[in-house]
Structure 1
Amino acid sequence: MLQELSIRHFAIIDSLELSFDKGLTVLTGETGAGKSIIIDALQLLTGGRGSGEFVRHGEKKAEIEGMFTIHENHPCHQLCREFGIDVEEEAIILRREISSNGKSVCRANGKMVTLSILREIGARLMDIHGQHEHQELMNAGTHLRLLDDFGGTAIYQAKEKYKEVYSRYEHLQTEIRRLSENEQNLAHRLDLIQFQLNEIQKAELTAGEEEKLESERQQLANFEKLYGALSEAYGALSGDGKALDWLGISVNGLESAAGINRQYKALHEAAANSFYVLEDTVRDVSSILDTLEFDPARLNEIESRLNEINQLKRKYGSTIEDILQYGEKIAEEIDQLTHRETHISRLQKEMVELEAAVMTEGKKLSKLRSAAAGHLEEAIHRELKELYMEKTVFKVHFQSETGQYKKDGIDQVEFYMTTNPGEPLKPLVKVASGGEMSRVMLAMKTIFSKHQGVTSIIFDEVDTGVSGRVAQAIGEKIYKIAVHSQVLCISHLPQVAAMADSHLYIQKNQDSKRTSTLVTPLNDDEKASEIGRMISGVEMTDLTKEHAKELLALSAKLKQSAVLK
């Protein structure tokens, strides 16, 4: 849920800090007080399009920051892992800064992210629905996913099986298309990779060769320095009056001492061991000096070989191992192209078998979807009946074409509806409008909010155009959605405000210099007064206040009733 929201220098908001609770939070206030500005800020926080016009006049930038708490299985965990964003203590903090020149900076848990990433995360955390916005319920492209979410585990498992078979089928299609290209393109491709393979094979590369050559080149390129250092070391160790000679004298002296007193035996043994080790070292250095020679021809040969390897690396891979792997890959491709007809025939046989498997799994998935669609239609009709749209008909429309396989199955799904008896079913987006659209949307939200996993749902004046018993039904329906998801609702209906768990009053404050928006949490008495104002308008009477208290008492009973649990 959205737990904390901070807004600075945004439109007419100078500085605003808000805390939100679970359940239904209603925002009310006079028109123009700034209610929708808060929703605009939340839209920008979750990836909406911004501009410098949002920055408060006279300020350099607007800042919006929100903290969302999520449960351990929330899809945002996986999403954040994919983007390298750390999630600690089950919380995600989104931040958006918009400068007066229109530039935007986005962050998620302190990490700078692109606007598209912010939008993707924001879509999992918050669903904002306004009176004139359709969003995903009104987008036919999302209807299949919504149906699958409603269907639950059975559809998910069937879809995974289908995707596994479809992935292999799609790969075979790609291979057959590649092998079935026109003869001229294939001939050009064969000539190219045959030349590449010949070049790689002619080089006779071996793994680890480059490292050995680099080491040998290093020695030859620094021959004089190396020979001088070894000669200097040998001269210091070997010969009359040199280190090995003096160490021998020391060993003899300690041997004599040990003969007189055995307590010096350990010293003699240590010195003797050092003498033998150093003697071996002198012998080894002498042997190296005898064999060490400068061979300019070998150095040129090494330089030439390393240059050849680098040329191949620029073409075929960053290491010798990569080059050899590439050679194996194109050798296999050459075999396929050379025996193209045989390969195509074999793949086509596999394709027939796989296509049958795709269709089988697709039909299984489609059958499950059809059953889920029936349950969804029943659930939507129940919700619409409670919203006094009992004559409305809702239908999940399937369009399945044999051979039209997609990654999500063989079905095309779109929600159809008619609000008038005798009228034909039409796509949802073309049917309802105004008050009808609000009720249809709420009915669907009531169903899908249980399956979508969205942390917070925001309704921006979706109750416009309704009144009376319909307004009461909308209030109950919005509260029912809040049982499963945190809901923030801007409303002008007292019936909706009375159902709130928390009530925030938005007002515009004007002084001699500036206009700003203030937000005040209301207690029970203040809530009754505000609902009374919403009922009567400007003038507040004792009778109006009594009506407000009655409405609050009725709402309290409805919230406890079995219908809303």
Structure 2
Amino acid sequence: MLQELSIKNFAIIDSIALSFEEGLTVLSGETGAGKSIIIDAIHLLVGGRGSSEFVRHGEKKAEIEGLFLLDDPRHPCHAKASEFGIDIEEGMIVLRRDISSTGKSVCRVNGKLVTIATMREIGSTLIDIHGQHEHQELMNEHLHLTLLDQFGGKDIASSLTAYLDVFEEYQTVSRQLKRLNENEQEMAHRLDLIQFQQKEIQDAELRLHEDDELQDEKLKLVNFEKLYEALQTSYDSLRGERKGMDWAGLAMGHLETAAEVDAQFGGTLESVSSAYYILEDAAHAIRAELDQLEFEPGRLDMIESRLNEINGLKRKYGSSIEEVLAYGSRIEEEIETIVNKDSHVQQLQDQLRSLENDLSVEAENLTIARKKWAKKLTVSIHEQLKQLYMDKTKFEVKFLTDGDAVNRKFKRDGWDEVEFYISTNPGEPLKPLSKVASGGELSRIMLALKTIFSKHQGITSIIFDEVDTGVSGRVAQSIAEKIYQVAVHSQVMCISHLPQVAAMADCHLFISKKQANGRTSTKVKRLEENEKIQEISRMISGVEITDLTLEHAKELLHLAGSIKET
């Protein structure tokens, strides 16, 4: 949910800091007080289009920052943030947007600079803003199939997984077949190129780790004199008259005499003896190395030439000899495929036909599962619309490619194309939801859909911006109850002029304007119980608050409390 929101120098807002809670938060106030400006700020925070006009007059930049809490580790925001390399720690994500007076926009997510497009993608998993005249997610017909799949849950998901397993293999074989059926001239050029590459790799006769061995040998040859001198000096220090071995041998002889007199020197004698024989072995090893050392002037040139050859191959075909050899194996298979193209094409065509048959079966199973859940969704939508006094409205999930084998195409989500259709008046034909005119009816339709899909979408917060315009009476009460039902599954913020909606609020924020030093600014106040009664009375009466409107407000709050309990 959105827990904290900070807005500075935005439109008529000087500086406000808001804390939000779970459930339903209602924002009310006089027209022009700044209610929609707060929603505009949230819209910009999640990637909306910005403008220098949003910056408060006389200020250099507007600042908007929001803290979101993600209690569910499976929330889609985690995957989206990971996709862009953004870490989410302790289930907290902070979005910040600065808009300068020149129109430049700077976006940050958890302190990391991101593009507006990235912020929009992340923001879409956190906030869904629905206004009376906006075509939001539910109005986008391209997302209706996804919404149906979410509604179907595990049942559709299992069918979709089975389909995807075959689809991935189908895509792989299709790509292979496409490559083989490409332009003959391009194929011939490709064959010439990889045959040349194969010959170059084969002629090099590479061995694994050969370059490391050559580098070690090169190091010895480059430092031959230094190495020879060091070994020779070491050997001379150990062997020779009155050198290390002589003194060690002399010490060992005297300790033998001491041990014969006093047994306590036996341990010391043993240590010196061991050291003597270890030094003797070391001297023999140094001597053997010296005897084998031989400087070959031409060998260094050969090593340099070989390393240059190996490095040239690594620049072309891989960062190591192992990768170069692996590339050689791959192009060897490709050469065999191109040379025997016709037989491979036939084999892939047969394989593709077999996969198409399997894919058709899985796609049909997926369609059957979707149709089953489409019927259940239709029943649920009709029930919601009935509760909103739209019992004459008809809703249908249309499968646009149903029975149309010509236009059916295998896609990642199956071959179905789905769109929501609706008719609001008896005798009128069903039309696409996206074509339904906005207004009071559209508000109720959208609210019915939201009531159902808010349980499945995983959106952290939903904002309704005056979606209750144009309704009153029992419809207004029904809308208030529906908005509260959505708030059971998602945090909901709602700008409303309806007292019925305000009465259902878990938190009521009153937005007002104040003037100081010749400037207008927005003020936000969280209402206590008595203040709620006063504000709801104002919403009922419009101007004058009477004892009757106060009683009516108390009655609405009491009724709202009873409804919440059920």
Q: CA deviation at 1:84?
A: 4.2
Question: Taking structure 1 as reference, are residues 468 and 162 closer, same or farther at Cα in structure 2, changes over 3 Å only?
Answer: same
Change (3 A) 1:558 1:297: same
Q: Distance in 1 between matches of 2:260 and 2:519?
A: 105
Q: Is the 8 A contact 1:438 1:463 kept in 2?
A: yes
Q: Helix, strand or coil for the counterpart of 2:124? A: helix
Give the letter aligned to residue 424 of structure 2. T
**Which shifted more, 456-465 or 194-203?**
456-465
Match for 1:282: what amino acid? Answer: A
Measured in 2, the distance between the counterparts of 1:335 and 1:191 equals 13
Task: Give the structure 2 partner of residue 338 of structure 1.
Answer: 339
Aligned 8 A contact 2:132 2:438 in 1: no
Deviation at 1:540, TM superposition (A): 2.1
- State yes or no: 1:66 paired with 2:71: no
Q: Which of these residues, 420, 429, 436, is aligned with residue 434 of structure 2?
A: 429
User: Quick check: 1:125 aligned with 2:130?
Assistant: no
1:258 aligns with 2:263: no
Q: Residues 438-449 of structure 1 correspond to what in structure 2 (within 5 A)?
A: 438-449=443-454
Matched, 1:279 2:284: no
Aligned to 2:367: 366
How is 1:44-83 mapped onto 2 (pairs within 5 angstroms)?
44-56=44-56, 57-83=58-84
Letter of the aligned partner of 1:18 in structure 2? L
1:515 to 511, 520, 531: 520
Pairwise CA distance, 1:267: 0.9
* Partner residue in 2 for 1:4: 4
Q: 1:103 to 1:283 in 2, by over 3 A?
A: farther
Q: Tell me the residue number matched to 1:156.
A: 157
User: How much does 1:169 deviate?
Assistant: 0.8
Question: Offset at 1:35?
Answer: 1.2
TM-superposed deviation, 1:100: 4.1
Secondary structure of 2:325's aligned partner: helix
Alignment partner of 1:289 is 2:290: yes
* 8 A contact 1:417–1:425 mirrored in 2: yes
Once the two structures are aligned, what percentage of the paired residues are identical?
58
The separation in 1 between residues aligned to 2:228 and 2:82, in whole angstroms, is 56
Question: For 2:441, what is the secondary structure of its paired residue?
Answer: helix
Q: CA deviation at 1:52?
A: 4.1
Q: Unpaired runs of 5+ in structure 1?
A: none
Q: Unaligned stretches of 5+ in structure 2?
A: none
1:18-417 correspondence to structure 2 within 5 Å: 18-56=18-56, 57-400=58-401, 401-402=404-405, 403-417=408-422
Instruction: State the secondary structure of the residue aligned to 2:98.
Output: strand
Letter in 2 for 1:384: L
Q: SS at 2:389's partner residue?
A: coil
SS in 1 for 2:42: helix
Match of 1:472 in 2: 477
Q: Choose which of 396, 415, 419 in structure 1 pairs with 2:424.
A: 419
Bigger mean CA deviation after superposition, 526-535 or 464-473:
464-473
* Worse overlay, 124-133 or 146-155: 124-133
- 3-state DSSP class of the match of 1:509? strand
Q: Which moved more, 1:250-259 or 1:346-355?
A: 250-259
Q: Distance in 2 between matches of 1:319 and 1:493?
A: 71
Whichever residue aligns with residue 50 of structure 1, its letter is G
Question: Does the residue aligned with 1:70 lie in a helix, a strand or coil?
Answer: coil
Q: Distance in 1 between matches of 2:254 and 2:109?
A: 76
More off after superposition, 287-296 vs 311-320: 287-296
Offset, 1:193: 0.7
**In 2, are the aligned partners of 1:463 and 1:491 still within 8 Å (CA)?**
yes
> Scaled by the length of structure 2, what TM-score is found?
0.95
In 1: Cα distance, 2:44 partner to 2:375 partner: 38
The more displaced of 158-167 and 29-38 is: 29-38
1:507 CA drift (Å) = 1.1
Structure 2 SS opposite 1:358? helix
Deviation at 1:273, TM superposition (A): 1.1
Offset from partner CA, 1:73-122 (integer Å, 9 cap, x none): 32333444444444443333333334444444444444444443332232
- Distance, in Å, in 2 between the alignment partners of 1:65 and 1:389 is 37
Q: 1:8 corresponds to which letter in structure 2?
A: K
**Residue 152 of structure 2 contacts residue 373 of structure 2 at CA under 8 Å; is this kept in 1?**
yes
- In the TM superposition, what is the alpha-carbon distance from 1:469 to its structure 2 partner? 2.6
Q: Could you tell which deviates more after superposition, 296-305 or 283-292?
A: 283-292
- Contact 2:133 2:438 (8 Å CA) reproduced: no
Of 191-200 and 86-95, deviating more is 86-95
In 2: Cα distance, 1:38 partner to 1:126 partner: 14
Q: Distance in 2 between matches of 1:305 and 1:123?
A: 57
Q: Which amino acid aligns with 2:240?
A: G
Inter-partner Cα distance in structure 1 for 2:286 and 2:104: 68
Give the deviation of 1:544 after TM superposition.
2.2
Alpha carbons 1:7, 1:41 under 8 Å: kept: yes
* Residue type of the alignment partner of 1:313: K
User: Partners in 2 of 1:109 and 1:17 — Cα distance?
Assistant: 19
**Alpha-carbon spacing, 1:482–1:184, altered in 2? closer, same or farther (3 Å):** same
Equivalent pair of 2:3/2:66 in contact (CA under 8 Å) = no
Mapped to 1, the partners of 2:52 and 2:324 lie a distance apart of 52
Relative to 1, partners in 2 of residues 1:136 and 1:331: Cα closer, same or farther, differing over 3 Å? same
> Which amino acid counterpart does residue 545 of structure 1 have in structure 2?
L
CA distance in structure 2 between the aligned counterparts of 1:246 and 1:519, rounded to whole angstroms: 94
Give the whole-Å Cα distance in 1 for the aligned partners of 2:546 and 2:337. 89
| Contact persistence 1:471–1:493 (CA under 8 A) | yes
DSSP 3-state at the match of 2:27: strand
